[in-house]
């Protein structure tokens, strides 16, 4: 509470000194494109256990006094007030936002978010399968759809280059014939994250590489550079008689949680309220939502598990997003996957993530295939899907929302994208009544 008061007081003092209004407006450009296979705009999809629109609103709450959704710049009336405009499919974190707004205000000029062409996080992970971050030949930088105007909308806008401060981080060591000369598969993890969500692959980028993994990278850097942080973490670990990365300095647990003493939790990890975690489970650098149940022996690494999800015994997630109200049953392994809301994935399923032959991983994008830029990539399951036991899903395959799949001799390996029309429940009499479509309907039928 005191922290927000100080921030608002500083904001008012700065405004008074600069001669600007004490109000900051924001206009949100609506991106109505639906993300396949979810059939929803990006703003409704979960990022770090919040709908993207709510994540954006929470980050900007201390800056703005007025907001409005618009379809184009033509709807913005001119007022001589501080104004922020951004597209609603953008993911950014508080570290990026603070840097951009602080520097934009200091310039007293209209600015647009931009990145150097050699920014490693953007070039490696954020420019594939999208158009929201694109090259501006006039300035020779990448630009994105976020603008700051100190005195209301104007035409003369300059790019403001933000350094994401990416650092290379390996996530597992593999034989050299499967990766680069060093034998490591690596990500360029930003300290200040920003991406445009236009494809299901970007939900993994935002939640994992630019989300929980970035949290880990920032903690590593803080421990390296700050003696005070080192001492706080060490002192807390000594008081609690825990391993350093398991102490309450880096593991945040909500109210009314039931966690077995044998559970291993390593931070930075954020666990919500009313969470149950059974014996022998491992939680490593994750975001766990409210009312989640994680069963005996389950493994959750570098993943986001949203509200009311259920993992029975021996379920495994690695670098995976689970949206709310979903379940992954026992002995199922998901790696580099994105799972929609209200979805059930049965026991003994395997989502593979690596091409056995050395060729780029491509995913369905529009009417063709697009390069993902990912050395390894699992699959995506939409909303309201029911997947039976014993399936093998090949890399970068997507299963459309509302699909039901049964393992059978004819279809046990998923080697292509599965659409609603391919759903196995149509083989059952009265299929429409048994499992009606919820997410792929035209807007006027929803």
The pLDDT tens digits for 92-130 are: 999 999 999 999 999 999 999 999 999 999 999 999 999
Contact 428, 66 (CB under 8 A): no
What is the rounded distance in angstroms from the CA atom of residue 332 to the CA atom of residue 351? 8
Residue 37 preceded by cis peptide, ω within 30: yes
* Residue 5: burial class (beta carbons within 10 Å; 0-12, 13-18, 19+): exposed
What is the pTM for the complete model shown?
0.89
Domains and CATH numbers, the chain: 7-164 (3.90.550), 246-445 (2.160.10.10)
Half-sphere exposure of 38 (CA within 13 A, CB side): 26
**pLDDT at residue number 97:** 96
- Euclidean distance between CA atoms 112 and 161, whole angstroms: 8
- What integer pLDDT is reported at residue 442 of this predicted model? 63
Q: Hey, what are 14's tokens? A: 């700065």
Weakly modelled stretches of the chain, pLDDT under 50:
1-21, 181-183
Q: How far apart, in whole angstroms, are the C-alpha atoms of residue 416 and residue 140?
A: 38
Q: What is the DSSP string of 271-327?
A: E-SS-EE-TT-EEES-EE-TT-EE-TT-EEES-EE-TT-EE-TT-EEES-EE-TT-E
pLDDT of residue 219: 87
Contact 384, 438 (CB under 8 A): yes
Question: How much is the pLDDT for 18?
Answer: 42
**How many secondary structure helices (H) and strands (E) does the chain include?**
8, 41
pLDDT value at residue 444: 55
CA–CA gap between residue 370 and residue 2 (Å, rounded): 48
- Distances 152 to 6, 76, 281 between C-alpha atoms, Å: 26, 9, 53
Q: How far is residue 100's CA from residue 356's CA, in Å, rounded to a whole number?
A: 42
Quote the pLDDT of residue 443.
Answer: 57
């Amino acid at each position: 509470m005191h922290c927000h008061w100080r921030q608002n007081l500083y904001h008012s003092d700065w405004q008074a000194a600069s001669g600007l209004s004490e109000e900051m407006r924001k206009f949100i450009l609506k991106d109505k494109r639906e993300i396949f296979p979810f059939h929803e705009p990006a703003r409704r999809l979960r990022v770090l256990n919040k709908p993207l629109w709510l994540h954006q609103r929470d980050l900007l709450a201390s800056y703005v006094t007025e907001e409005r959704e618009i379809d184009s710049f033509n709807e913005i009336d001119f007022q001589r007030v501080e104004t922020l405009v951004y597209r609603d499919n953008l993911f950014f974190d508080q570290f990026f936002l603070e840097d951009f707004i602080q520097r934009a205000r200091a310039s007293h000029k209209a600015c647009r978010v931009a990145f150097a062409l050699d920014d490693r996080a953007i070039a490696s992970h954020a420019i594939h399968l999208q158009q929201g971050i694109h090259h501006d030949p006039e300035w020779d930088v990448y630009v994105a759809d976020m603008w700051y105007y100190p005195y209301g909308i104007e035409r003369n806008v300059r790019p403001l280059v933000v350094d994401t401060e990416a650092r290379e981080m390996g996530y597992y060591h593999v034989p050299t014939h499967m990766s680069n000369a060093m034998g490591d598969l690596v990500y360029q993890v930003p300290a200040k994250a920003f991406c445009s969500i236009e494809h299901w692959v970007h939900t993994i980028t935002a939640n994992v590489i630019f989300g929980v993994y970035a949290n880990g990278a920032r903690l590593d850097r803080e421990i390296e550079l700050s003696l005070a942080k080192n001492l706080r973490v060490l002192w807390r670990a000594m008081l609690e008689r825990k391993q350093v990365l398991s102490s309450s300095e880096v593991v945040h647990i909500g109210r009314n949680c039931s966690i077995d003493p044998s559970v291993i939790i390593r931070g930075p990890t954020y666990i919500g309220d009313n969470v149950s975690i059974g014996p022998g489970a491992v939680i490593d650098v994750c975001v766990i939502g409210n009312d989640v149940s994680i069963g005996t022996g389950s493994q959750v690494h570098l993943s986001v598990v949203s509200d009311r999800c259920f993992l029975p015994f021996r379920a495994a997630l690695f670098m995976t997003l689970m949206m709310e109200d979903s379940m992954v049953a026992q002995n199922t392994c998901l790696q580099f996957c994105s799972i929609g809301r209200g979805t059930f994935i049965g026991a003994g399923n395997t989502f593979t993530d690596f091409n056995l032959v050395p060729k780029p991983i491509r995913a369905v994008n529009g009417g063709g295939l697009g390069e993902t830029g990912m050395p390894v990539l699992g699959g995506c399951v939409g909303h309201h899907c029911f997947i039976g036991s014993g399936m093998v899903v090949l890399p970068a395959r997507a299963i459309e929302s509302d699909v039901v799949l049964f393992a059978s001799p004819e279809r046990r390996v998923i080697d292509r994208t599965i659409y609603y029309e391919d759903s196995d429940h149509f083989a059952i009499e009265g299929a429409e009544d048994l499992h009606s479509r919820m997410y792929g309907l035209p807007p006027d039928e929803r």
